[in-house]
Chains A and B, each alone.
Chain A
């Protein structure tokens, strides 16, 4: 079943924004998805979709104060406060699936948002100003990795006239930085409590960190399984779970999804149910992927047998959190990100991933406008070359389908595969 087709049918014409705010939309979609359970190759994907629909319903139906956040902000805080997190960058992906990307990008352009800016944020801008997103009660954003997110989210907060809280993350991992980030996290937390009139519940807050740790443990176990040969899940299938690491840590539903995925993966490894009939190469995928229909994974995995066995975005870069010291451990998590600080940290992490996953090649998807991931690639390329690991920097756009050139992409992928196989 095409979930987007179903959603599109509810979002046609002038009732489209109203449809998003109707509880019937979510009831019908959820029932339709639930009825299709057996048709999902992975039950974990099915559970993930139901979890996402619940989250969307809570946000769009304003079942509580909706707090917008960027994908690098520690969401444990928002779940711990009982607020409803909403990640506009992730929601922009849904806009692509719904086929409204062209229209909302035009809106962003009409508002003078330059086409040189990240398309995720241009889409989010257009969706918000066109009324497709639930209005925020507050906006939180961390400054690390992405320069656009703080700018874009601050502009959104100003547009809606709601408070904006910036988590300023330095590029060092020393005690001073830890203290600085922890103090900010604490202040943001209690500012949200005050601004949104939330009930502070210490147990609930600690529970969010416990959930986060449980999700982390399961994700680590999933990653360990995926490091085995042969691969039992295709990269295309595994990629959708990245949403959890970007927007759902701290939620109980996240633990359930990973638990289901782990159970299914264990079974498939026991039964040796291969992801592809013949595994000819193992690839590591860096950054994100295009979220509109495309042939990239078809070419790699199904045609060539080159399976994406690991994703940089699914990398567990942080240590378990200490629920007794929530702000310090969340600060440590934020500062542990391998993309923070000198690029050598990211390179070391990627080389370790290449070893652990026994990857014979690395593909980086260079999303248009994403300067944090792309600009330092030359040093990564050099490091991979020293290790004789073939590398492909595939340029494109994760959410703007008009930038997708199927012929050129096939040519580049086939050239890379020729070198690899």
Chain B
């Protein structure tokens, strides 16, 4: 039986997929333009979502038993509409994710997760298996959070590119039953050489989803990415759940809604501000680069909030626009070099 279950948004509870007997597989898009997807998803829509649909239409994805699509933004909502008709065969499941964090939202999200679990498992999911999956994933994330924390130290850390490469591998085909591959990836990072006396400017990179080639280019140009605030970066690792909870669905609801907020969580602006402030202080950030994904409404306004934050903190900020196609390299490079030069002068 094919047991890969695709997912896109970091609010997808992979624990439920694992406990239901599936191997979670994150769709991370593809390089290049998306002409076929554009004929199904009309208008100016998120290139990441278009890219995932394009990969499916071109049959570039491994065979999936289905896909879980969160209705977390307009682009995802529309993807959920077209996927079953034009995407891949298999189950298409949707999940509503609240845009706020309060007790009502937690209860509602808990019910949604319970519904998703019964749809995935075809029956009531065994709670013991779910707790086992929760524990396993939390161990994985805790190990990752340690790796991230180690980057706060000035002398010793992995490069942003290495981290993001490993995270990309970690998000695909990961299951407790498959050779503890996640642990291997994380432990592998520890064997990377330490960067002693690194004088490269320490940067925070932010955006909805960060293209890997951007991080690579930042470091090729002489910067050092030490904190990636994106749904394929730090936000993916959530935050340890606070307090005891007997219901696994409510536990997961709190875990996911309570993590570092995505720009879509408009009611959580202050929390996002505190999250940036903590990252800047703890990771000794000297400059910020914001990648605005084309047509991502949340990112457009999130940039304005980050700009206000940077102005208040006197932090240099560079905005780069991208379409997730792997293009823009020439323009990015020129602007990055100028930005990093300015940081070095400072």
- Residues of A at the B interface (CB closer than 8 Å) are 111-114, 116-118, 141, 143, 146-148, 150-152, 154-155, 158, 164, 166, 168, 170-172, 176-177, 179-180, 183-184, 187, 342-344, 366, 368-372, 374-379, 393
Contacts and interface: CB of A to CB of B under 8 A. Distances in A.
A73 to B, nearest CB: 14
A305 B45 CA distance: 35
B216 interface: no
Contact of B104 (A117, A151, A184, A370): A184
Contact of A112 (B40, B43, B111, B307): B307
Contact of B96 (A148, A170, A184): A170
B85 interface: yes
Contacts of B297: 117-118, 147-148, 151, 371
Nearest to A187: B104
A166 B99 contact: yes
Contacts of B295: 116, 371
Given A342-B81, A379-B85, A374 B300 contact: no
Given A154-B266, A168-B105, A366-B43, A342 B301 contact: no
Given A154-B301, A366-B42, 16 more contacts: A112-B307, A147-B264, A158-B305, A164-B267, A168-B100, A168-B267, A180-B107, A187-B104, A342-B80, A343-B81, A370-B43, A371-B297, A374-B42, A375-B42, A378-B41, A378-B42
A168 B297 CA distance: 17
Contact of B267 (A147, A166, A176): A166
Nearest to B111: A176
B75 A375 contact: yes
B74 interface: yes
Interface in B29-82: 39-45, 71, 73-75, 77-78, 80-82
Contacts of A372: 74, 77
B81 A379 contact: yes
In terms of DSSP, what is the predominant structure of the interface of chain B? helix
A369 B304 contact: no
A113 B300 contact: yes
A184 B42 CA distance: 33
Q: Which of B45, B98, B300 has the most CB of A within 10 A?
A: B300
B78 to A, nearest CB: 4
Contact of A166 (B40, B100, B112, B307): B100
Contacts of A168: 98-100, 105, 267
A184 B107 CA distance: 13
19 contacts: A112-B303, A148-B297, A151-B263, A151-B297, A151-B298, A164-B267, A166-B99, A166-B100, A168-B99, A176-B112, A180-B98, A187-B104, A344-B81, A369-B44, A377-B42, A377-B43, A378-B41, A378-B82, A393-B42
Contacts of B300: 113-114, 116-117, 151
B108 interface: yes
Nearest to B50: A375
A376 B105 contact: no
Contacts of A164: 266-267
B74 A371 contact: yes
Given A114-B300, A116-B294, A375 B99 contact: no
B43 A155 contact: no
Contacts of B73: 147
B292 interface: yes
A376 B267 contact: no
B266 A112 contact: no
Interface of B: 39-45, 71, 73-75, 77-78, 80-82, 85, 94, 96, 98-100, 104-105, 107-108, 111-112, 263-264, 266-267, 269, 292, 294-295, 297-298, 300-305, 307, 319, 321
A116 B321 CA distance: 11
Contacts of B307: 112
B252 to A, nearest CB: 16
Contact of B74 (A147, A166, A170): A147
Nearest to A117: B300
Contacts of A378: 39-42, 82
A378 to B, nearest CB: 5
Contacts of B85: 379
B303 A154 contact: no
Given A111-B304, A147-B297, A371-B43, A376 B99 contact: no
B284 to A, nearest CB: 26
A113 to B, nearest CB: 7
A143 B99 contact: yes
B292 A176 contact: no
A25 B310 CA distance: 41
Nearest to A141: B266
Contacts of A376: 42, 78, 81-82
A371 B39 contact: no
B44 to A, nearest CB: 6
Contacts of A147: 73-74, 264, 297-298
A214 B302 CA distance: 41
A176 B80 CA distance: 21
B304 A113 contact: yes
A112 B304 contact: yes
Ordered nearest first, which 9 A-B pairs have the shortest CB separation? A374-B43, A151-B301, A375-B78, A170-B96, A343-B81, A180-B108, A150-B266, A147-B297, A166-B267
A155 B302 CA distance: 9
Contacts of A148: 297, 301
Contacts of B74: 146-147, 371-372, 375
Contact of A150 (B82, B99, B302): B99
B231 to A, nearest CB: 15
A112 B321 CA distance: 12
A154 B269 contact: yes
A119 to B, nearest CB: 12
A177 B95 CA distance: 12
A371 B75 CA distance: 8
Contact of B71 (A151, A171, A377, A379): A171
A406 to B, nearest CB: 22
A318 to B, nearest CB: 20
A187 B209 CA distance: 34
B206 to A, nearest CB: 14
Contact of A180 (B104, B305, B321): B104
A171 B267 CA distance: 18
A418 B75 CA distance: 34
Contacts of A111: 304
Contacts of B39: 378
Nearest to A393: B42
A155 B304 contact: yes
Nearest to B303: A112
B20 to A, nearest CB: 20
